[in-house]
């Protein structure tokens, strides 16, 4: 039995939360591990079930544990931290973080571009484009649902490649002599609709990141437009910004 300090000014639920955090950080409760049931924790720490529930709810809000309905409460996997400082693809990003990237191709087809896709690729609405849909995984865990749009001529060639083992960025640059010079990113927090949630294996309306990325080759010509849906419970994005020197008028 681990006794908490009843005489402390720190509430028992906060002490219990700290104790569980220490066990998680120390590896005694590793990612994917189920927390002991409430009665076991109550007996171990000599506290009420109300105290147990308050502590666990706080850990849930912090993203340290999560409830799997019908199964219990589990320690979450630590979030992947990805920097947005260079134009890189999923495979490059995951390998740089020591993760094993894999992909599943869900669909590839020629279709007509809607207004948004046409605008990003510098085409006219109704022009043919190639759309490729893939599920991207890191260490076997679904992380991102990617929709990639390419101009028809270039996309038809890429459609024939093995897109489960060959990244599109690599194909563009190394096989089709289309160097990627820069890209425009738009990042938005959204809720997963039913179709995206099903692919990612999460509940509908779960928080996700939507990244719209348009990549350009020489002469600022757009060649790749993507809609990337990342699981909000598994990844966070960071960047570094430089302060622009103030003008004389601002001094």
pLDDT at residue 194, rounded to an integer: 95
Same domain? 31 vs 125: no
Same domain? 93 vs 170: yes
Same domain? 202 vs 234: yes
Same domain? 165 vs 218: yes
Same domain? 233 vs 112: yes
Domain boundary among 75, 98, 127: 75
Phi, psi of 146 (to 5 degrees): -110, 130
Sign of CA dihedral 48, 49, 52, 53: negative
Task: Quote the number of domains for the chain.
Answer: 2
Q: Tokens in use for 4? A: 């908490």
β-pair partners for 150: 130
Domain boundary among 52, 75, 98: 75
pLDDT at residue 62, rounded to an integer: 78
Same domain? 67 vs 30: yes
Query: What residue has token string 């099903």?
Result: 198
Same domain? 186 vs 137: yes
Same domain? 20 vs 46: yes
Asked if residue 3 belongs to a domain, the reply is no
Asked if residue 88 belongs to a domain, the reply is yes
Distance CA 225, CA 200 (A): 21
pLDDT at residue 129, rounded to an integer: 98
Residues, the chain: 251
Q: What is the pTM of this model?
A: 0.73
Same domain? 136 vs 118: yes
Q: Tokens in use for 86? A: 């260079």
Supply the CATH number for residue 175's domain: 3.40.1410.10
Supply the CATH number for residue 46's domain: 1.10.10.10
pLDDT at residue 98, rounded to an integer: 87
Same domain? 20 vs 116: no
**pLDDT digit of tens for each residue in the chain (251 aa)?**
677 888 888 999 999 999 999 888 888 888 889 999 999 999 999 999 999 999 999 888 877 888 888 889 999 877 788 888 889 999 999 998 888 999 999 999 999 999 999 999 999 999 999 999 999 999 888 999 999 999 999 999 999 999 999 999 999 999 999 999 999 999 999 999 999 999 998 889 989 999 999 999 999 999 999 999 999 888 888 888 888 877 765 65
Can you give the residue range of the structural domain that contains 158?
80-238
112 alpha carbon, distance to own chain's centre:
29
166 alpha carbon, distance to own chain's centre:
21
Query: What residue has token string 């019908």?
Result: 70
Asked if residue 245 belongs to a domain, the reply is no
DSSP the chain: -----TTSSS-HHHHHHHHHHHHHHHTSS-TTPBPPPHHHHHHHHT--HHHHHHHHHHHHHTTSEEEETTTEEEEPPPPEEEE-SS---HHHHHHHTT--EEEEEEEEEEEE--HHHHHHHT--TT-EEEEEEEEEEETTEEEEEEEEEEEHHHHHHHHTS-TTTS-HHHIIIIIS-----EEEEEEEEEE--HHHHHHHT--TT-EEEEEEEEEEEGGGEEEEEEEEEEETTTEEEE---PPPPPPTTT-
Query: 233, exposed or middle or buried, with CB in 10 Å at 0-12, 13-18, 19+?
Result: middle
Same domain? 62 vs 99: no
Query: What residue has token string 């506290």?
Result: 47
Same domain? 58 vs 126: no
């Amino acid at each position: 039995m681990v006794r908490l300090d009843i005489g402390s000014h720190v509430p028992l639920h906060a002490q219990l939360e700290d104790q569980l955090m220490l066990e998680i950080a120390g590896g005694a409760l590793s990612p994917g591990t189920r927390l002991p049931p409430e009665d076991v924790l109550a007996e171990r720490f000599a506290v009420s079930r109300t105290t147990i529930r308050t502590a666990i709810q706080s850990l849930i809000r912090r993203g340290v544990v999560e409830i799997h309905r019908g199964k219990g409460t589990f320690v979450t996997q630590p979030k992947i931290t990805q920097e947005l400082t260079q134009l890189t693809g999923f495979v490059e990003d995951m390998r740089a973080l020591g993760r094993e990237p894999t992909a599943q191709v869900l669909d590839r087809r020629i279709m007509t571009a809607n207004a948004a896709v046409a605008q990003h690729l510098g085409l006219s609405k109704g022009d043919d484009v190639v759309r490729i849909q893939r599920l991207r995984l890191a260490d076997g865990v679904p992380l991102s649902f990617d929709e990639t749009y390419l101009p028809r001529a270039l996309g038809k060639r890429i459609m024939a490649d093995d897109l489960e083992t060959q990244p599109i960025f690599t194909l563009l640059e190394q096989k089709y002599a289309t160097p990627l010079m820069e890209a425009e990113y738009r990042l938005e927090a959204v809720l997963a609709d039913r179709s995206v949630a099903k692919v990612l294996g999460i509940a509908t309306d779960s928080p996700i990141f939507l990244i719209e990325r348009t990549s350009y080759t020489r002469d600022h010509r757009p060649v790749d437009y993507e809609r990337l849906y990342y699981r909000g419970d598994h990844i966070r994005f960071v960047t570094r910004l430089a302060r622009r020197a103030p003008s004389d008028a601002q001094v």
